[in-house]
Protein backbone atom coordinates (compact mmCIF):
# COMPACT_ATOMS: atom_id res chain seq x y z
CA UNK A 1 0.00 0.00 0.00
CA UNK A 2 1.53 3.30 -1.11
CA UNK A 3 1.21 6.17 1.29
CA UNK A 4 0.27 9.69 0.27
CA UNK A 5 3.38 11.78 -0.18
CA UNK A 6 3.87 15.55 -0.30
CA UNK A 7 3.88 17.42 -3.62
CA UNK A 8 7.23 17.59 -5.45
CA UNK A 9 8.29 20.81 -3.71
CA UNK A 10 7.83 19.12 -0.31
CA UNK A 11 5.89 20.11 2.78
CA UNK A 12 6.44 23.34 4.56
CA UNK A 13 8.40 23.07 7.76
CA UNK A 14 6.78 24.21 10.94
CA UNK A 15 4.69 23.00 13.88
CA UNK A 16 3.59 19.42 13.54
CA UNK A 17 0.10 20.34 14.55
CA UNK A 18 -0.24 17.25 16.68
CA UNK A 19 -1.73 19.10 19.64
CA UNK A 20 -4.70 17.45 21.22
CA UNK A 21 -3.45 13.92 20.57
CA UNK A 22 -4.59 11.54 23.19
CA UNK A 23 -3.09 8.68 25.13
CA UNK A 24 -1.05 6.11 23.35
CA UNK A 25 -3.96 3.70 23.30
CA UNK A 26 -1.54 0.86 22.99
CA UNK A 27 0.59 0.29 26.08
CA UNK A 28 -0.04 -3.26 27.14
CA UNK A 29 -2.99 -3.58 24.75
CA UNK A 30 -3.20 -6.43 22.33
CA UNK A 31 -4.04 -5.98 18.65
CA UNK A 32 -7.36 -7.69 19.31
CA UNK A 33 -8.74 -4.46 20.68
CA UNK A 34 -8.81 -5.66 24.28
CA UNK A 35 -8.74 -3.55 27.41
CA UNK A 36 -6.70 -0.40 27.41
CA UNK A 37 -9.11 2.51 27.46
CA UNK A 38 -9.60 2.10 31.19
CA UNK A 39 -12.92 2.11 33.00
CA UNK A 40 -15.00 4.39 35.10
CA UNK A 41 -14.61 3.95 38.84
CA UNK A 42 -17.24 1.70 40.32
CA UNK A 43 -20.10 3.56 41.89
CA UNK A 44 -23.70 4.58 41.56
CA UNK A 45 -24.47 5.88 38.10
CA UNK A 46 -21.00 5.10 36.73
CA UNK A 47 -20.86 4.67 32.95
CA UNK A 48 -18.03 2.98 31.14
CA UNK A 49 -16.46 5.04 28.33
CA UNK A 50 -16.94 3.82 24.76
CA UNK A 51 -14.63 1.02 23.67
CA UNK A 52 -13.62 2.68 20.42
CA UNK A 53 -11.22 -0.11 19.44
CA UNK A 54 -13.88 -2.76 19.80
CA UNK A 55 -16.29 -0.66 17.73
CA UNK A 56 -13.59 -0.19 15.09
CA UNK A 57 -12.93 -3.95 14.93
CA UNK A 58 -16.64 -4.76 14.65
CA UNK A 59 -17.22 -2.19 11.92
CA UNK A 60 -14.12 -3.27 9.98
CA UNK A 61 -15.28 -6.88 9.96
CA UNK A 62 -18.92 -6.19 9.19
CA UNK A 63 -20.46 -7.32 5.91
CA UNK A 64 -20.51 -3.77 4.52
CA UNK A 65 -18.01 -1.60 6.42
CA UNK A 66 -19.01 2.05 6.75
CA UNK A 67 -16.04 4.12 5.54
CA UNK A 68 -17.02 7.32 7.35
CA UNK A 69 -17.61 5.47 10.61
CA UNK A 70 -14.23 3.74 10.43
CA UNK A 71 -12.42 7.02 9.77
CA UNK A 72 -14.27 8.72 12.61
CA UNK A 73 -13.39 5.88 14.98
CA UNK A 74 -9.70 6.38 14.15
CA UNK A 75 -10.06 9.93 15.43
CA UNK A 76 -11.91 8.71 18.52
CA UNK A 77 -8.98 6.44 19.44
CA UNK A 78 -6.40 9.22 19.27
CA UNK A 79 -8.38 12.20 20.55
CA UNK A 80 -9.60 11.90 24.18
CA UNK A 81 -12.02 14.80 23.69
CA UNK A 82 -14.06 12.84 21.15
CA UNK A 83 -17.44 11.63 22.41
CA UNK A 84 -20.32 9.81 20.71
CA UNK A 85 -21.83 13.26 20.22
CA UNK A 86 -18.70 14.33 18.30
CA UNK A 87 -19.14 11.43 15.89
CA UNK A 88 -22.85 12.16 15.51
CA UNK A 89 -22.06 15.79 14.68
CA UNK A 90 -19.61 14.68 11.98
CA UNK A 91 -22.20 12.37 10.41
CA UNK A 92 -24.77 15.17 10.53
CA UNK A 93 -22.33 17.50 8.77
CA UNK A 94 -21.83 14.96 5.98
CA UNK A 95 -25.61 14.66 5.66
CA UNK A 96 -25.96 18.46 5.58
CA UNK A 97 -23.38 18.81 2.82
CA UNK A 98 -25.06 16.07 0.80
CA UNK A 99 -28.35 17.94 1.07
CA UNK A 100 -26.72 20.97 -0.58
CA UNK A 101 -25.81 19.08 -3.76
CA UNK A 102 -28.16 20.35 -6.50
CA UNK A 103 -30.86 17.76 -7.15
CA UNK A 104 -30.50 18.27 -10.91
CA UNK A 105 -27.05 16.68 -10.70
CA UNK A 106 -28.77 13.30 -10.51
CA UNK A 107 -30.08 14.00 -13.99
CA UNK A 108 -27.13 15.77 -15.58
CA UNK A 109 -24.54 13.46 -14.03
CA UNK A 110 -22.03 16.32 -13.79
CA UNK A 111 -20.94 15.35 -10.30
CA UNK A 112 -17.42 16.71 -10.59
CA UNK A 113 -18.54 20.28 -11.29
CA UNK A 114 -21.32 20.17 -8.71
CA UNK A 115 -19.11 18.89 -5.92
CA UNK A 116 -16.19 21.13 -6.84
CA UNK A 117 -18.55 24.10 -6.66
CA UNK A 118 -19.99 23.01 -3.33
CA UNK A 119 -17.13 21.39 -1.45
CA UNK A 120 -14.20 23.16 -3.09
CA UNK A 121 -15.39 26.70 -3.76
CA UNK A 122 -18.30 27.22 -1.36
CA UNK A 123 -17.28 25.11 1.65
CA UNK A 124 -13.51 25.52 1.23
CA UNK A 125 -12.35 21.89 1.33
CA UNK A 126 -8.84 21.71 -0.11
CA UNK A 127 -5.28 20.87 0.85
CA UNK A 128 -2.03 22.78 1.20
CA UNK A 129 1.54 21.41 1.56
CA UNK A 130 1.65 22.18 5.30
CA UNK A 131 -1.21 19.72 5.86
CA UNK A 132 1.26 16.87 5.45
CA UNK A 133 2.87 17.94 8.74
CA UNK A 134 -0.35 17.86 10.77
CA UNK A 135 -1.72 14.73 12.41
CA UNK A 136 -5.26 16.09 12.34
CA UNK A 137 -5.06 16.10 8.53
CA UNK A 138 -5.65 12.34 8.83
CA UNK A 139 -8.58 12.56 11.27
CA UNK A 140 -11.99 12.88 9.64
CA UNK A 141 -13.71 14.86 12.40
CA UNK A 142 -10.87 17.41 12.28
CA UNK A 143 -10.91 17.57 8.47
CA UNK A 144 -14.64 18.36 8.59
CA UNK A 145 -13.94 21.10 11.14
CA UNK A 146 -10.85 22.63 9.52
CA UNK A 147 -11.77 22.04 5.86
CA UNK A 148 -8.15 20.90 5.39
CA UNK A 149 -6.59 17.46 5.14
CA UNK A 150 -4.53 14.96 3.20
CA UNK A 151 -5.73 13.91 -0.26
CA UNK A 152 -7.20 10.65 1.04
CA UNK A 153 -9.22 12.30 3.85
CA UNK A 154 -10.53 15.03 1.56
CA UNK A 155 -11.45 12.26 -0.86
CA UNK A 156 -13.33 10.48 1.93
CA UNK A 157 -15.35 13.65 2.48
CA UNK A 158 -16.13 13.84 -1.24
CA UNK A 159 -17.04 10.16 -1.43
CA UNK A 160 -19.31 10.24 1.61
CA UNK A 161 -21.09 13.42 0.52
CA UNK A 162 -21.46 12.16 -3.06
CA UNK A 163 -22.70 8.74 -1.93
CA UNK A 164 -25.36 10.33 0.26
CA UNK A 165 -26.42 12.49 -2.67
CA UNK A 166 -26.83 9.44 -4.93
CA UNK A 167 -23.64 9.68 -7.01
CA UNK A 168 -21.87 6.63 -8.47
CA UNK A 169 -18.63 7.55 -6.71
CA UNK A 170 -15.48 5.60 -5.89
CA UNK A 171 -12.01 6.23 -4.50
CA UNK A 172 -8.88 5.70 -6.53
CA UNK A 173 -5.61 5.12 -4.67
CA UNK A 174 -3.01 6.19 -7.20
CA UNK A 175 0.61 5.95 -6.05
CA UNK A 176 1.38 8.99 -3.95
CA UNK A 177 -2.05 10.60 -4.32
CA UNK A 178 -5.68 9.68 -3.69
CA UNK A 179 -8.45 10.97 -5.94
CA UNK A 180 -12.13 10.25 -6.57
CA UNK A 181 -13.94 9.04 -9.66
CA UNK A 182 -17.51 9.00 -10.89
CA UNK A 183 -19.41 6.56 -13.08
CA UNK A 184 -17.65 3.77 -14.93
CA UNK A 185 -14.01 3.51 -13.76
CA UNK A 186 -13.01 2.83 -17.36
CA UNK A 187 -14.09 6.39 -18.29
CA UNK A 188 -11.58 7.98 -15.85
CA UNK A 189 -13.94 10.77 -14.87
CA UNK A 190 -11.74 11.90 -11.99
CA UNK A 191 -11.43 14.81 -9.57
CA UNK A 192 -8.69 15.86 -7.15
CA UNK A 193 -10.26 17.01 -3.84
CA UNK A 194 -6.85 18.15 -2.56
CA UNK A 195 -6.87 20.72 -5.37
CA UNK A 196 -10.41 21.84 -4.51
CA UNK A 197 -11.97 19.38 -6.94
CA UNK A 198 -9.94 20.02 -10.06
CA UNK A 199 -11.13 17.72 -12.84
CA UNK A 200 -8.57 15.16 -13.98
CA UNK A 201 -8.17 13.35 -17.29
CA UNK A 202 -6.50 10.03 -17.95
CA UNK A 203 -3.41 11.97 -19.04
CA UNK A 204 -3.40 13.83 -15.73
CA UNK A 205 -3.46 10.50 -13.90
CA UNK A 206 -0.57 9.21 -15.98
CA UNK A 207 1.51 12.31 -15.22
CA UNK A 208 0.71 12.06 -11.52
CA UNK A 209 1.84 8.42 -11.36
CA UNK A 210 4.98 9.18 -13.38
CA UNK A 211 5.93 12.02 -11.03
CA UNK A 212 5.37 9.86 -7.95
CA UNK A 213 6.98 6.62 -9.11
CA UNK A 214 8.89 7.37 -12.30
CA UNK A 215 6.90 4.61 -13.98
CA UNK A 216 4.01 4.44 -16.40
CA UNK A 217 0.41 4.12 -15.24
CA UNK A 218 -0.63 0.50 -14.94
CA UNK A 219 -4.28 -0.46 -15.42
CA UNK A 220 -4.17 -2.31 -12.10
CA UNK A 221 -3.80 1.09 -10.41
CA UNK A 222 -7.25 2.09 -11.63
CA UNK A 223 -9.27 -0.38 -9.58
CA UNK A 224 -11.66 1.35 -7.14
CA UNK A 225 -10.42 1.09 -3.57
CA UNK A 226 -12.42 -0.89 -1.02
CA UNK A 227 -13.16 0.65 2.41
CA UNK A 228 -10.66 -1.61 4.17
CA UNK A 229 -7.89 -0.63 1.78
CA UNK A 230 -8.73 3.06 2.19
CA UNK A 231 -8.64 2.82 5.98
CA UNK A 232 -5.35 0.92 5.90
CA UNK A 233 -3.87 3.66 3.73
CA UNK A 234 -5.10 6.31 6.19
CA UNK A 235 -3.38 4.42 9.00
CA UNK A 236 -0.23 4.05 6.86
CA UNK A 237 -0.13 7.82 6.51
CA UNK A 238 -0.45 8.24 10.26
CA UNK A 239 2.42 5.81 10.80
CA UNK A 240 4.47 7.76 8.25
CA UNK A 241 3.70 10.98 10.16
CA UNK A 242 4.87 9.41 13.43
CA UNK A 243 7.98 7.67 12.05
CA UNK A 244 10.33 10.71 12.18
CA UNK A 245 8.90 11.74 15.56
CA UNK A 246 10.20 9.25 18.18
CA UNK A 247 8.38 11.18 20.89
CA UNK A 248 5.11 10.19 19.19
CA UNK A 249 5.69 6.45 19.21
CA UNK A 250 2.30 6.26 20.94
CA UNK A 251 0.68 7.39 17.70
CA UNK A 252 2.64 4.86 15.65
CA UNK A 253 1.64 2.10 18.07
CA UNK A 254 -2.10 2.68 18.00
CA UNK A 255 -2.00 3.12 14.21
CA UNK A 256 -0.33 -0.28 13.88
CA UNK A 257 -2.76 -1.86 16.31
CA UNK A 258 -5.81 -0.53 14.47
CA UNK A 259 -4.29 -1.79 11.21
CA UNK A 260 -4.04 -5.24 12.76
CA UNK A 261 -7.78 -5.16 13.44
CA UNK A 262 -8.54 -4.93 9.72
CA UNK A 263 -9.46 -8.22 8.00
CA UNK A 264 -6.61 -7.75 5.53
CA UNK A 265 -3.25 -6.27 6.52
CA UNK A 266 0.48 -6.85 5.95
CA UNK A 267 1.83 -9.58 8.22
CA UNK A 268 4.94 -7.50 8.92
CA UNK A 269 2.84 -5.11 11.00
CA UNK A 270 3.10 -7.61 13.85
CA UNK A 271 6.86 -7.21 13.85
CA UNK A 272 6.51 -3.44 13.64
CA UNK A 273 4.27 -3.53 16.71
CA UNK A 274 6.88 -5.59 18.58
CA UNK A 275 9.59 -3.05 17.71
CA UNK A 276 7.41 -0.19 18.95
CA UNK A 277 6.74 -1.99 22.22
CA UNK A 278 10.49 -2.37 22.76
CA UNK A 279 11.03 1.27 21.84
CA UNK A 280 8.46 2.25 24.47
CA UNK A 281 10.19 0.17 27.16
CA UNK A 282 7.95 -2.90 27.09
CA UNK A 283 10.92 -5.18 26.47
CA UNK A 284 9.45 -8.52 27.53
CA UNK A 285 6.20 -8.14 25.59
CA UNK A 286 8.05 -6.85 22.53
CA UNK A 287 10.59 -9.68 22.64
CA UNK A 288 7.84 -12.29 22.96
CA UNK A 289 6.05 -10.90 19.91
CA UNK A 290 9.31 -10.79 17.94
CA UNK A 291 9.88 -14.46 18.69
CA UNK A 292 6.34 -15.33 17.61
CA UNK A 293 6.87 -13.48 14.35
CA UNK A 294 10.22 -15.24 13.84
CA UNK A 295 8.40 -18.57 13.98
CA UNK A 296 6.19 -17.42 11.12
CA UNK A 297 9.22 -16.26 9.15
CA UNK A 298 11.04 -19.59 9.57
CA UNK A 299 9.13 -21.08 6.65
CA UNK A 300 9.64 -18.20 4.21
CA UNK A 301 12.85 -16.42 5.22
CA UNK A 302 15.00 -18.32 7.76
CA UNK A 303 17.77 -15.71 7.63
CA UNK A 304 15.40 -12.92 8.61
CA UNK A 305 13.92 -15.14 11.32
CA UNK A 306 17.38 -15.55 12.83
CA UNK A 307 17.96 -11.79 12.79
CA UNK A 308 14.61 -11.18 14.48
CA UNK A 309 15.44 -13.70 17.23
CA UNK A 310 18.71 -11.85 17.88
CA UNK A 311 16.77 -8.60 18.26
CA UNK A 312 14.36 -10.32 20.63
CA UNK A 313 17.32 -11.56 22.68
CA UNK A 314 18.75 -8.05 22.77
CA UNK A 315 15.40 -6.70 23.95
CA UNK A 316 15.26 -9.24 26.78
CA UNK A 317 18.82 -8.30 27.78
CA UNK A 318 17.65 -4.75 28.39
CA UNK A 319 15.57 -6.04 31.32
CA UNK A 320 18.77 -6.79 33.29
3-state DSSP helix/strand/coil % of the chain, to nearest 5:
55, 5, 40
The yes-or-no verdict on residue 3 having pLDDT over 90 is no
> Do the Cβ atoms of 28 and 285 come closer than 8 Å?
yes
> Do the Cβ atoms of 222 and 189 come closer than 8 Å?
no
Query: pLDDT for 174-214, tens place per residue?
Result: 988 999 999 998 888 999 999 999 999 888 888 888 888 88
Which pLDDT does position 45 carry in this prediction?
Answer: 56
Among 59-63, 204-208, 264-268, the range with the most confident prediction by mean pLDDT is: 59-63
Which pLDDT does position 169 carry in this prediction?
Answer: 97
Which pLDDT does position 2 carry in this prediction?
Answer: 41
Sequential DSSP letters for 114-155:
HHIIIIIIIS--B--GGGGG-GGGG-HHHHHHHSB--HHHHH
Which pLDDT does position 115 carry in this prediction?
Answer: 97
pTM: 0.83
The rounded distance, in Å, linking the Cα atoms of 274 and 293 is: 9
> Do the Cβ atoms of 69 and 140 come closer than 8 Å?
no
Which pLDDT does position 34 carry in this prediction?
Answer: 41
Kindly state the average pLDDT of the residues 77-102: 96
Strand partners, 148: 126
Amino acid sequence: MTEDVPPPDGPEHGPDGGQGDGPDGGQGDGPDGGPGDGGTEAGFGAVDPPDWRREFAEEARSERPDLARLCLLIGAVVDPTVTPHTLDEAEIELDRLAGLVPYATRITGDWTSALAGLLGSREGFEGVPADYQRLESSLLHEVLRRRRGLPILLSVVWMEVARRAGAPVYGLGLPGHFVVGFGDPADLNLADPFAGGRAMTGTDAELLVASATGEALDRSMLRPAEPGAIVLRVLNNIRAWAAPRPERSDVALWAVELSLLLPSHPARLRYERAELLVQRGQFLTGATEMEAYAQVMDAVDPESATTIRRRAQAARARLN
